Structure 1
Amino acid sequence: MKRWIGSIVAATLLAGAAACADDDGGAKAGTPAGADSGAQLTLWTRAATESQSKAYAAAYNATHKNQVQVTAYPNEEYPAKLASAAGAKALPDLFASDVVFAPQYASQGLWLDLTDRFDALPFKDKVAPAHVRNGTWKNKVYAVPHTIDMSVMLYNKDLFTKAGLDPEKPPTTLQEFADDARAVDKLGGDVNGTYFGGNCGGCNVFTMWPSVWAAGGDVMNSDGTTSSINGKEMTDVFALYRKLYEEGVAAPAAKDEAGPTWLGALQSGKIGIAPGPAAWLGLIEEKANFKLGVAPISGLTGGESTFVGGDAIGIGATTRNAAAAWDFLSWTLGDEAQVEVIAKGKGVPVRTDLAANKYSQADPRLVKINGLMGKGRTPYAKNFNATYNDPQSPWVTAFRGALYGDAKKSLDDGATALTASLKK
């Protein structure tokens, strides 16, 4: 998202948001009036989350007087669309966003304060803690989890078997991951040991940072204003991936992978093991003629962690249907929606107490994935997108240098540049 969006939004919203929100008589926490009175609710989301948003809405609409209409926008256009709506004080009743943008939107007043409502939920302590933290600004909750995706190791069991590896024993350390990748790579031909998004900021945040966390390190301070990518743990992770690329174990195309063909590379059946989104499990198996295994992402010598990604959702600050909007949000967090909509569709429930359910228990891989949520993190930084996700971000410059250039200088200079960006 462009840096100018924040200034447009903040100036136009903060003064009028609170007054607009209470107009329906049900905006104050604990007021049930109008909760399911037949309101027509608008919900905006990015294309990446469209299917799950529509699944929630369809199930809710079938059993409620309120009706939720979902509109999805292309991922790259969505932040600007929200900024335009905020400037016109015409935000939708509900809108979701990539969870890493949540601190920025909360700080700008784009969502209503949900603190009292959220605190009243009997299962509030079971709602994905990393997501809730990112939806919190100055100790007030503005957004709740909408969808969850987590990073894991995905490996081709057939290639493991051909390479003489035990397909039921995935690596438990990052060093073992590298050794397994090398073993598969020795099969030769068009088979490669591993793959990664070597020119994709978001891809590497999602898949490499968990190895740092698993090793007990970090990449930023707790309030997301100071970078520490030149610390030992991050340096070790980059050194390992750099060596795999230099040895030819990583597919050559990994160097310039910016994201669009990342999934296709794993679907090809020619990659032994690679970190990626857990949500790809079903997508890969739709086309695969091989068996797929799942393992946690580990640190160099052990531990495990995951990037708890996905989308957060809140009530638009200019809504006149706050009570009805909360009725929908609270319903999405409940048992029925999380089990019969999300888990049934092979998604990850946003509640830690529902990780094991009647659908996930049929597939041990899903139980493993769901159980990682409590061990994972969602990075918290107000200026996350410009610092890390943007193709022109200082993060892309830093990790490209660490993987293919002067590693130490790139990480030292990168930490300085990232810190300057985070403080904006």
Structure 2
Amino acid sequence: MMRRLPSVAAAALLAVALAACGGGEPGPSAKTTASGPVTVTMWTRAATQAQSQRLVDAYNSKHKNQVKLTVIPTDNYQPRIAAAAGAKQLPDIFAADVIFVPNYTSQGLFLDVTDRVNQLPFKASLAPSHMRLGTYEDKLYTLPHTLDLSVWFWNKDLYKKAGLDPEKGPATLKEFAEQATTIQNKLGKDGKVSGTFFGGNCGGCYVFTFWPSVWAAGGQVMNPEGTQSLVDKSPMTEVFATYRSLYEKGITGPTAKEEQGPTWTGFFPKGQIGVMPMPSTTLGSMPADMKIGVAPIAGPDGGQSTFIGGDSVGISATSEHPDAAWDFLAWTVSDEAQVEVMAKNKDVVARTDLAGNKYSSADPRVVMINSLVAKGQTPYALKFGQTFNDPQGPWLRLAREAVFGDPSKVVQLNEAVNQSLQQ
């Protein structure tokens, strides 16, 4: 989410390609079935390569049907999908950043799998945010593929050195700010340690790390249709004010204002940050000897939420092997795949009923992260990319004014956000 910034050019190319292919309506070949074992093709972006490859390898080792996975560089993924859609050469299966799934479902690129999903005995336990964004006009088109959640990490060793309770992380945004300030005041004099850090020049970073505090406080950032922005109102303005105060007091690290995204998660693993919002997927890659606490992101006075990112996956509308493709997709959300492939590798499971599985239960932090799948949100907006992720979009300018510039401009700048959402 925060490290993958789509271009307006890619969105434009998609629109042209979809027009050329008649909106991606499934052709006669979509109903073709094979009498023997078949090989289905699948595309995924590099950002989710590790999880996708593990699932494909595990499936291929136990099934007659096979899945051939192609990994495409993340920055090239949207244009590649657009070009393939225009030429009617999409693979049998393709995954997509969940935030952009509504663009694909609304243009008919995915096959309707409503009846198939309804037959899954665990349908009600599938990650609700991913399922919501994969629904278009009351029909289901995708399943959750990979999940990446935003949470607060804190460095227990730094907490202990600063006189804080290393076993007690923040439960409110106010406590987050207080603990970060204590770390800075007690340990930050030499410039090697900072209280907290965030991506201050990265639109997706703000979305991923700030918005959960709004949801935890019972607020929203947009209307349900994704056409009206609410970021000029409380509790968003309170969240902005908290981070603004931290920056002004020198608590946020010297490069927070310039951080564009690629390196924003690199400082915490080095032991340089006291407490900060991080992607849940980084927990498994932290230094083995590093003592880390994990807490849900909270609002100013409490509550819990998370931004549920990651990918969803579906069958392309032009697939010649929809039955074989579905056999793989259904297997990826089965108990076997979710526990023995995903949970075993410390990935977030895509089903709420498996949050406390045998692998996750060995680490209370992982159980907590899994439990947030039922509490978090993934915002819906057809114009999300151009509005919130594009570095030239209106959201980044608004957020930077709110945190580093003139907060009085937020109301005016929010009109530009609305215009972008309504284009």
Is the 1:13–1:108 Cα contact (8 Å) retained in structure 2?
no
The separation in 2 between residues aligned to 1:194 and 1:4, in whole angstroms, is 38
Separation in 1 of the partners of 2:273 and 2:29? 51
2:239: which partner in 1? 237
Alignment root-mean-square deviation, CA: 1.3
**Deviation at 1:413?**
2.3
Provide structure 1 residue ranges, at least 5 long, that are not aligned to the other structure: 26-32
The correspondence for 1:217, drawn from 216, 219, 232, is 219
How much does 1:199 deviate?
A: 0.6
Aligned pairs for 1:31-42 (under 5 A) are 37-42=36-41
Shift in Å, 1:52:
0.5
| Shift in alpha-carbon separation, 1:117–1:14, aligned structure 2, 3 A | farther
Task: Give the deviation of 1:421 after TM superposition.
Answer: 1.1
Q: Residue 29 of structure 1 aligns with which residue?
A: none
Aligned partner of 2:21 in structure 1 is: 13
Aligned to 1:334: 334
TM score, norm. by length of structure 2: 0.95
Q: TM-score, normalised by structure 1?
A: 0.95
Describe the shift of the 1:337–1:350 C-alpha distance in structure 2 as closer, same or farther (beyond 3 A).
same
Matched, 1:122 2:124: no
Q: Is the 8 A contact 1:13 1:109 kept in 2?
A: no
Is the 8 Å Cα contact of residues 245 and 252 (structure 1) preserved in structure 2?
Answer: no
In structure 2, how many angstroms separate the alpha carbons of the residues matched to 1:60 and 1:290?
34
- Stretches of structure 2 that go unaligned for 5 or more consecutive residues are 1-5
1:276 aligns with 2:278: yes
| Mapped partners of 1:326, 1:109: distance in 2 | 17
Counting only pairs closer than 5 Å after superposition, residues 101-250 of structure 1 correspond to structure 2 as 101-186=100-185, 187-188=187-188, 189=190, 190-250=192-252
Match in the other structure for 1:408: 408
Alpha-carbon deviation of 1:144? 1.0
Q: Aligned equivalents of 2:108 and 2:408: distance in 1?
A: 40
Q: How far has the Cα of 1:12 moved from its partner?
A: 2.9
What's the CA shift string for 1:218-272, capped at 9, x where partnerless? 1000111111100110000000001101100000111111111112111120100
In 2, the alpha carbon distance for the partners of 1:247 and 1:205 equals 23
Pair 1:73-2:75 in alignment: no
Q: How does 1:291-302 map to 2 (within 5 A)?
A: 291-302=291-302
CA distance in 2, matches of 1:386, 1:72: 24
- Correspondence for 1:374: 374
* 2:387 equivalent in structure 1: 387
Report the Cα distance in structure 1 between the residues aligned to 2:308 and 2:381, rounded to whole angstroms: 14
Q: How is 1:330-369 mapped onto 2 (pairs within 5 angstroms)?
A: 330-369=330-369
2:343 partner amino acid: A
Secondary structure in structure 2 of the residue aligned to 1:76? helix
Question: Would the aligned equivalents of 1:209 and 1:307 in 2 still touch at CA under 8 Å?
Answer: yes
CA apart distance, 1:142: 1.1
- Distance (whole Å) between structure 2 residues aligned to residue 414 and residue 141 of structure 1: 35
Residue type of the partner of 1:305?
S
- The equivalent residue for 1:396 is 396
Q: 1:21 to 1:200 in 2, by over 3 A?
A: farther
* Sequence identity percentage: 53
On the 8 A contact 2:126/2:350 being kept in 1, the answer is yes
Is the 2:30–2:318 Cα contact (8 Å) retained in structure 1?
A: no
Q: Residues of 1 paired with 2:276 and 2:68: CA distance?
A: 37
Residue in structure 2 matched with residue 259 of structure 1 by the alignment: 261
